Amino acid sequence: MIPLSDNVIFYDTEFSSLDPYVGEILSIGLVKLSGESLYLELEYSGEYSTWVKENILGGLNGPKVKREDAVKKIHDFIGSERPYLVANVNCYDAVYTYKLFGIDDQPFYWLPLDFASMLFAHGMDPENYNKQEQSFFERIGVDPTRYHQHNALDDALLLRETYLALSK
C-alpha cells in the first residue's frame, strides 16, 4: 500500500448497541502515525446490548469522562490539521463519532477511511484481519496477541501496526 498522506489517525470505538438509533459511544482509542495515543471512556447511562454486556463492559475499567469533555480532549489531541481517520470496518465507528461531535463539528477530514476496504483493494481478505488469521499476521510480521481485542486503544494500536507493516 502506498498511502496518499501521513496525516492519518487510527482509531476504534466501542459502543452500546449495533442499532445506531439507540447506541452511543462507550470508549474511543486514537493513535497517531507517530504512536502518540489518546484513550477515553465516556459517561453513559442507557441500555446495553447483550453482546456488549458479555464482551465489552468487563474491559471498561477507567474513569469516565463527560461527552463534552471527551469532545474537547479529542479536539486537543487532533489539533487543526484535519487528519484522515482510519478504522477497521468503520461504519459504526464513524456513526457514533459523528453523533458525539455533531455533524458540523467534525475535527477530521469528512470522509472516513475503512481499513477493510484497503485490504480488499489490495487483494487481501478483510476476514484475515477480523479473525486474526495467524498466517496473515505471520506473513507481515505483526503479533496480534500483544493486544486485547475489543479494547478501543488496543484495537487502534493493532490497526496502526498492521497498516505500517503493509505500507513498507
Binding residues for Mg ion, per CB under 5 A? Answer: 12, 155
Specify the residue for cell string 459511544. 25
Q: State which residue, 155 or 161, has the beta carbon closest to Mg ion.
A: 155
Among the listed residues 140, 131, 139, 147, the one whose alpha carbon sits nearest the alpha carbon of residue 162 = 140
Give the residue at shortest CB distance from Mg ion.
Answer: 155
Q: CB of 45: closest distance to Mg ion in angstroms?
A: 22
DSSP assignments along 70-106, one per residue: HHHHHHHHHTTS-PEEEESSTHHHHHHHHHHH-TT--
- For Mg ion, the closer CB: 24 or 155: 155
CB of 87 to Mg ion, least distance (A): 9
Rounded to a whole number of angstroms, the minimum distance from the CB of residue 13 to Mg ion is: 7
- Closest to Mg ion by CB, 71 vs 156, is 156
Residues sharing a CB contact under 8 Å with residue 73, sequence separation 6 or more, in sequence order:
38, 40, 65
Report in angstroms how near the CB of residue 159 gets to Mg ion at its nearest.
9
SS3 26: strand
The smaller minimum CB distance to Mg ion, of residues 61 and 80, is found at 61
What does the alpha-carbon distance between residue 38 and residue 8 come to, in Å, rounded to a whole number? 14
